[in-house]
Amino acid sequence: MGRLRLLGLLCVLFVLGCDPGLPTPPGASSSTPAIEIEVVPPAPSDAVAPVSHFRLRSAARAGARPDAVALVVGEVGPRHVEQIAEGDPSDALSERIVPASVIPIEDDIWIVPHVMLERGERYDAVVGDTETTFPIVVDSEAEAPFERLWPPPDLPVAQASLFYCGPDEVSFEPEEDALFPDGPRGVWSPGTPSGAGRRCLRFDPAAAMMSGTWLAPPSVAGHAVAPGPVTIGEMNTIRALSCAGHEVVFGPGCAAVEDDRLTLRAPESPMLWVVSGGGLDLVFATEPGESRIVKGLPPSSSITLTVEVLYASGVWSIGPATVFTKQVRPHFVINEAYANPIGAEPDQEWIEIVNDGSVGGDLEGYVIEDIGGPTVLPAAFVGPGAMAVVVNETFSADGEYDAAPAPDAVIVRVEKLGKNGLSNSGEPLKLTRPDGTVISRFPAVPKPKPGASVARVTPEAPDGVESSFVLSTAPTPGAPN
């Protein structure tokens, strides 16, 4: 019972006949056990949860090999089943096979997908050795699972400490469980050890664990959790940061405090952060050396925050951080750049600046700088949350070949945007205040393509992080990315 406790104490068993279009398995006899499929969490075959585990009862006893078992998107035919049995699926079939752990346990074989199944999609569980298929349809109205924030994918951690978060607060009594199969035992609880992170689920292992790869249950306390393996490996050494003069100590990191926000600088090790107090209850993970903007602080105030951190060692730390916020002001950010237009160059090039602050401000005297040199901006008021599109004097807003600016965008015309226009091969940009302080940076990559822009995923996405910027084939000058 211990091996299956994490998969729920109750299971539903439904027996599906083999696809009538498939031949009878060669050599089959009355002594060959029938393979049955069990879905965890319990659900009818035409409405399984997007995060489910599948137990093929008696499959191992019937002679099925794990490498001849697969979960496939869509319906399969006899030739597909044959390819899976032979371990030689075509390229087209390989693209349809769901990434999963296929695990033999005594008489049975388990299929544990590593990704969420698509709502409303049909899948076939295939046992190639016995030429058996089980059709499965995913519930089209199922709720999204809780997102796994810790550990990040592909990050080996020293302990199987897990953290998943959803949209709403959760409340349940702590419950014992184990990771699959025969993995570390531990306890699932809501939130952090201090009670913060109330939208989250936490798993604390009961003891240290040898290296290995384990799987979380498909649901905890009635909440689906995102699938994916958890790898136990060696612990990385964490070096304390030395904070600069304008920064304050913030847990194991450092923070530059502004008006309604602070910029966190994380150590050179991945970790999970939970920041609470002052109206905040934030949960996020950082990559080594990442900067992260924490918003929502009251300006011109003294605030004591609680900073909890989960390290790759599985250890939690907690401590206070008192910050003194400054007077409210605008926050201008380079949000999108269009360097390779379909129309005339450099006429139709532009750079979008968003005011991510809570008050408006004037761009006069601010400077955009590229490799070719500086472009000083003229007077232009940009309200809170509003966007300015900086363009050449010759820019045409008719949208004949390129996307037209949003109707409410602030158009800022300059004599020349860059020395000879923006580079089609990509170039770094920076925005500075009139006093020379750099307040926003934009990368040279990804390289812009004709008709595509480079966009920041959110205004608060940090500079210097590759995942903060994407190539957009539908540019949005003056509108949210």
Across the strands, what pairs with 463? none
The domain spans of the chain are: 2-137, 147-232, 247-324, 332-472
Please, which residues have CB within 8 angstroms of residue 460's CB and are 6 or more apart in sequence?
261, 293, 295, 356
pLDDT at 29: 45
The values of phi and psi at residue 464, to 5°, are: 75, 10
Preceding amide of 41 cis, omega within 30: yes
Q: 191 Cβ partners below 8 Å, 6+ apart?
A: 170, 197, 198, 200, 202
| pLDDT tens sequence across 143-154 | 999 999 999 988
What residues pair up with 147 in beta bridges, in sequence order? Answer: 165
66 half-sphere exposure, CB direction, 13 A CA radius: 14
Neighbours of 17 (CB within 10 A): 10
Q: How far is CA 368 from CA 232, 351, 422, 474, in A?
A: 46, 9, 11, 24
Query: How far is CA 139 from each of CA 7, 43, 180, 451, rounded to the nearest angstrom?
Result: 19, 9, 24, 39
pTM: 0.83
Question: Residue with structure tokens 């056990």?
Answer: 33
Q: Are strands 387-392 and 410-414 parallel, antiparallel or unpaired?
A: parallel
Binned average pLDDT, 10 residues per bin, the chain of 481 residues = 36 38 42 88 96 97 96 98 97 98 97 98 97 97 96 87 96 95 93 96 86 93 96 75 94 96 94 94 93 94 97 93 96 97 94 97 97 94 98 91 96 90 88 96 89 95 88 96 92
Number of H helices, E strands in the chain: 3, 37
Q: Which CATH superfamily is domain 247-324 in?
A: Immunoglobulins (2.60.40.10)
CATH number of 332-472, picked from 1.20.58.100, 3.40.50.10490, 2.60.40.1260, 1.10.10.10: 2.60.40.1260
What are residue 366's phi and psi, to 5 degrees?
-70, 155
